[in-house]
Amino acid sequence: AKYVYDFSEGNKDLKDLLGGKGANLAEMTRLGLPVPPGFTITTEACRAYMADGQLPPDLRVEVTMAVRRLEDELGRGLGDFHDPLLVSVRSGAKFSMPGMMETVLNIGLNDASVQGLAKFSDDERFAWDSYRRLIQMFGKTVLDIDGERFSGALEQMKDVRGVTADTDLTADDLRELVGWFKQIVHEESGREFPQHPREQLDLAITAVFNSWNTERARLYRRRERIPHDLGTAVNVVSMVFGNLGPSSGTGVCFTRDPSTGHSGVYGDYLPNAQGEDVVAGIRNTLTLADLETLDPTSYAELRQAMRRLETHYRDLCDIEFTIERGKLWMLQTRVGKRTAAAAFRIATQLVDEHLITMDEALERVSGQQLSKLMFPQFDSGAERTLLATGMAASPGAAVGMAVFDSATAQAWAAEGKDVVLVRRETNPDDLGGMIAAVGVLTSRGGKTSHAAVVARGMGTTCVVGAEKLDVDVVAREMRVGKKVVREGDVIAIDGSSGEIFLGAVPVVPSPVVQYLEDGLDVALEHAADDDTRELVKAVDRVLTHADTVRRLRVHANADTPGDAHRARVWGAQGIGLCRTEHMFLGERRVLIERLILAREDAERQAALDALLPLQRADFTEILREMDGRPTTIRLIDPPLHEFLPDLTELSVKVALAAERGETGEVVDRDRDLLAAVQRMHEANPMLGLRGVRLGIVVPGLFALQIRAVAEAAAARLKEGGRPHAEIMVPLAASVMELHLVRDEAERILADVAAEQGVELHVPIGAMIELPRAALTADRMAQAAEFFSFGTNDLTQTTWGFSRDDVEGAFFTEYTERGVISVSPFETIDRRGVGRLVRIAVEEGRRERPDIVLGVCGEHGGDPESVHFFHEVGLDYVSCSPFRVPIARLEAGRAAV
Ligand code: ADP
Ligand code: MG
Ligand code: MG
């Protein structure tokens, strides 16, 4: 295998092999942008290393060749005494993992070459500063020495010299610091800091490979569902220096604002600095406007490069750059992460700029982002105490108790408390706390700081750089002027405005929800500002486009007229699942008890007769609400004992009555009830007498429901309505079950049609939720006009997992150990459960070409699953009303 690619050999489509950073460095090189020469070691080399535990021998040779090419190109030698070539070693996986993997700068410096660097650059201070940075980064990332040892020594040096900024240390100070650092390396690792440049290089490459498997990296990947076996690439890049005095510097920028989407110039710049200084919040950064004044030529060149990149990628890009003595260098670019609102705005802005089509705009947003926009926001009319304002880094409205370290955040969150993690700045060690917190707040750093980037990626509310906050981690409090917020005090942070409030602030629904409920005009009228108006319009355009291109219809699961109404307003084209069990609760419970306890047909019939008008009224209302749209009514599904009192409670009650010698009608009834409950007790109720089995065993039960549906449809027809009722049979495993129900149903439908003098067409179909039903779909289709996949039960019965028990019991362990990457109850298991769905679709259609196929489990509203259902050719998905807009969007995305 070829393990090493020069930047001139790769391109942006090779992310699998070169990682995101390497592929984009190659792309920028191809575009002719000023990228320092270098090469990328492939992810394949990383996988080979992980498999063997050592660097592949071929790799060593290829690295030698690549280094020599680099030396020839630049006319300098790695670690030479005269004018040394230095390189950085940078990780870069396929998916960006902010702060996960480590970078080592200035490789090639040693006791000799530092002199050469000083002489060549004519800046002794710079040379020693670079050397101390190398030892510091190398010590921390490669030799695993606690970074505090080095930063502590640096602080101490500054104290001794009586200065506050790193930049105030002199060349002599830094030379002395290098001595300290080398001593720290020796004390902590038991070895000398390696002087040989090639040894430094090989150790750094190995360290990057190893960092793929750190706890932090694994945690991030689990959260983001990134597979553990991809591996990372390594980029070796010739160094350029932002720390060569005031005409040098380093910065990051975006081609558009990643939180609002507005185009303009967004970025942070730090003069006389190297590498991560700018994102670490060590010194306060300047803006790009400041750079324009400082160095107009480099600024103009940077603007040019930003435009080039945005045109080339046709998307928001983020960029890392360095200026070395007035010369601009591009060190990284990628299509930038953005907030959900920005994603919608940017997508439509790019359409208006004729850079992308509406189809592409649809691909640039996701259902997950849409669902984020449906979260409530702070009520601006409510009374609130503003503590301070920072920078809006990741939107949302978070209310929680202030905590000042990651461990406390995790511990309190585990107790079910909402916490806001407050730090001066975050670093990769805070990841656990950031995941646990409902919001993240920092007093330092900009929109590109670690906290901001990571929080945006996770969709966690975040405010950064609130400089008025004096965060005291040791005392576990923060001070704002005279006010003190202690650990446990409630604060509220607004990730869209950057505001920080003392105490809880009430929240109001989102403008997107208002748009969905009341339409575009009302939402625009009520929007708080132009940003909101732009967002609402963008959502409307994208969603409307999704509706025009999607093939899947979207139905909702709704059991009441109220739910049905909301579903329709939010765009549902029908009801895919109307459960009927709640219709037997409340006051009607008594009737069910009577039905179950009945000893004679007459008694049973009386109970059924009493239920009929009630059920008919339920269905009439829902059919009225859904007029003209398919409404799939599922016959009663759960085991009957769910409608009876609890076994233990009832036993106690009966025993007490007996002891006290009580008699009478109530006591007799309780005793009968207890007998019935005992009789119906099942060890595995979910696999027991429920669904169609119940309908077959309990006389009159299904007949009641079918008659109620038929009479409701007849009533609507007579009112001039257009009822589209459908009857769905739950939990059938055999076509014989369907035949029994269908025969009875057809008889009742005919009776009602004759009685009422109307023509009734009520399709009868099967819920496919048992493996056997899927595997015998050809036969099932003989007696079913439609199939609706009940993927919750189908997942339970295919895996043999009890949905109500597994999540807490062993799914965490299963996820950790890689047995599953995501709960199959959340996203459909394509290989197993999905296979059954495919079989049933194919065989069902073969038997009955006009069969209607849908899905009504939770998966109907899960973005990834929606794409699967599109692929297998279902006609519709049905999900909870709240997820209808998400399913519409994803069905559109699946179709383009
Ligand atoms: P991350 O993935 O955490 O952003 P990077 O590999 O991009 O890590 O490197 C961290 C920092 O070091 C960045 O600010 C980058 O600009 C800087 N850097 C990396 N390589 C070089 C180089 N060859 N010359 C100058 N600065 C570099
Ligand atoms: Mg980094
Ligand atoms: Mg970077």
Q: Name the nearest CA neighbour of 543 among 395, 376, 373, 378.
A: 373
Q: Which atom of ligand 1 is nearest to the CA of 278?
A: 14
Q: Please, which residues have CB within 8 angstroms of residue 831's CB and are 6 or more apart in sequence?
A: none
Task: Confirm whether the ipTM is greater than 0.95.
Answer: no
Q: Is 556 exposed, middle or buried (0-12, 13-18, 19+ CB in 10 A)?
A: buried
Instruction: Report, as ranges of residue numbers, the positions in the chain whose pLDDT lies below 70.
Output: 98-101, 279-282, 448, 457, 807-808
Largest CA distance in the chain: 108
Q: Which ligand is nearest to the CA of 278?
A: 1
Contact assessment for residue 37 and residue 224, using Cβ atoms and an 8 Å cutoff = no
Which residues, other chains included, contact 873 with Cβ-Cβ below 8 Å and sequence gap of 6+?
A: 841, 853
Residue nearest to atom 14 of ligand 1 (CA): 275
How remote is the CA of residue 104 from the centroid of ligand 1, in Å?
8
Only one residue has tokens 């040894």, namely 199
Nearest CA to ligand 1 atom 23: 239
Beginning with the edge strand found earlier in the chain, give each strand of the sheet holding 391-394 in spatial order. 385-389, 499-502, 490-494, 397-403, 419-423, 439-442, 461-464, 391-394
- Residue 410, sorted as left (phi over 0), alpha (psi -120 to 50) or beta, turns out to be alpha
Residue whose Cα lies nearest atom 9 of ligand 1: it is: 103
Assess contact for 433 and 407: CB atoms under 8 A.
yes
Q: Are the beta carbons of 134 and 109 closer than 8 angstroms?
A: yes
Phi-psi region of 106 (alpha: psi -120 to 50; beta: other; left: phi over 0): left
Q: How far apart are CA 675 and CA 650, in angstroms?
A: 10
Sign (positive or negative) of CA dihedral 208, 213, 219, 225: positive
624 token code pair: 């009225």
pLDDT digits (tens, 9 = 90+) for 455-479: 876 778 999 989 899 999 999 999 9
Which residue has the CA at smallest separation from atom 24 of ligand 1?
Answer: 239
The response to whether residue 342 sits with its C-beta less than 6 Å from ligand 1 reads no
Question: Are 650 and 641 spatial neighbours (Cβ–Cβ below 8 Å)?
Answer: no
Query: Any long-range contacts for 152-155 (C-beta under 8 Å, 24+ apart)?
Result: 153/177, 153/180, 153/181, 153/184
- What architecture is domain 249-335? 2-Layer Sandwich (3.30)
CATH classification for the domain delimited by 392-488, as one of 3.90.1300.10, 3.50.30.10, 3.30.930.10, 3.60.150.10: 3.50.30.10
Q: What amino acid positions are annotated as catalytic residues?
A: 450, 856
- Residue 596 corresponds to which tokens in the numbers above? 């179950």
Instruction: Please answer whether residues 203 and 142 qualify as being in contact, where contact means their C-beta atoms are separated by less than 8 angstroms.
Output: yes
In 621-650, which positions are buried (b, 16+ CB within 10 angstroms) versus exposed (e)? bbbbbbeebbbbbbbbbbbbbebbbeeeeb
- Return the pLDDT at 281: 61
Q: Considering only CA atoms, which of 732, 581, 696 is closest in space to residue 642?
A: 581
Which of 35, 67, 90 maximizes ligand 1 atoms within 8 Å of its Cβ, making it the mutation to test the pocket?
A: 90
Alpha helices in 138-245 (DSSP H): 147-161, 171-189, 197-211, 215-224
Q: Which residue has the tokens 């047995």?
A: 819
Which ligand is closest in space to the CA of residue 105?
Answer: 1
Closest ligand 1 atom number to CA of residue 274: 26
Task: Evaluate: CB of 243 within 6 angstroms of ligand 1.
Answer: no
Among 101, 276, 325, 450, say which to mutate for ligand 1: greatest number of ligand atoms within 8 Å of CB: 276
Half-sphere exposure of 576 (CA within 13 A, CB side): 33
Which atom of ligand 1 is nearest the CA belonging to 90? 6
> Can you tell me the distance from the alpha carbon of 759 to that of 714, in angstroms, rounded to the nearest whole number?
8
Which ligand has its closest atom nearest to the C-alpha of 235?
1
Q: Amino acid identity of 473? A: V
**CB-side neighbour CA atoms (13 Å) of 798:** 25
Single-letter residue type at 469: L
Which CATH number applies to 550-639+682-895? 3.20.20.60
* Distance of alpha carbon 388 from the chain centroid: 29
Ligand 1 probe mutation, 205, 332, 427, most atoms within 8 A of CB = 332
CB 312 within 8 A of CB 3: no
Asked if the domains 4-238 and 249-335 are classified in one and the same CATH topology, the answer is no
Q: Which fold has domain 4-238?
A: Dna Ligase; domain 1 (3.30.1490)
User: Measuring CA to CA, how many Å separate 539 from each of 317, 515, 550, 618?
Assistant: 22, 9, 16, 35
Q: Which residue has the tokens 């006591």?
A: 667
Provide the phi-psi class of 325: left if phi over 0, else alpha when psi is between -120 and 50, else beta.
left
Burial of 233 (0-12, 13-18, 19+ CB in 10 A): buried
Neighbours of 296 (CB within 10 A): 10
- Residue entry with tokens 């409701």: 712
Å from CA of 177 to ligand 2 middle: 23
Strands (E), 640-781: 724-729, 764-768
Q: What are the DSSP calls for 249-316, one per residue? A: EEEEEEEE-TTT--EEEEEEEEES--TTHHHHTSSPPEEHHHHHHH-HHHHHHHHHHHHHHHHHHTS-
**Cβ(93) to ligand 1 under 6 A?**
no
Q: Atom 15 of ligand 1 has which residue's CA nearest to it? A: 275
Sort residue 346 into left (φ over 0), alpha (ψ -120 to 50) or beta: alpha
- Sorted by where each begins, the domain ranges of the chain are 4-238, 249-335, 340-371+511-545, 392-488, 550-639+682-895, 646-680
Q: Name which of 760, 752, 769, 767 is nearest 725 in CA terms.
A: 760
103 CB near ligand 1 (under 6 Å) = yes
Ligand 1 lined by 332 (C-beta under 6 Å): yes
Neighbours of ion ligand 3 (CB under 5 A): 320, 332
Quick one: which of 295, 282, 293, 286 has its CA closest to 327?
Answer: 295
Count CB neighbours of 73 within 10 A. Answer: 12
For the Cβ of 333 lying below 6 angstroms from any atom of ligand 1, the answer is: no
CB burial of residue 307 (10 Å; 0-12, 13-18, 19+): exposed
Does residue 211 line the site of ligand 1, with CB under 6 A?
Answer: no
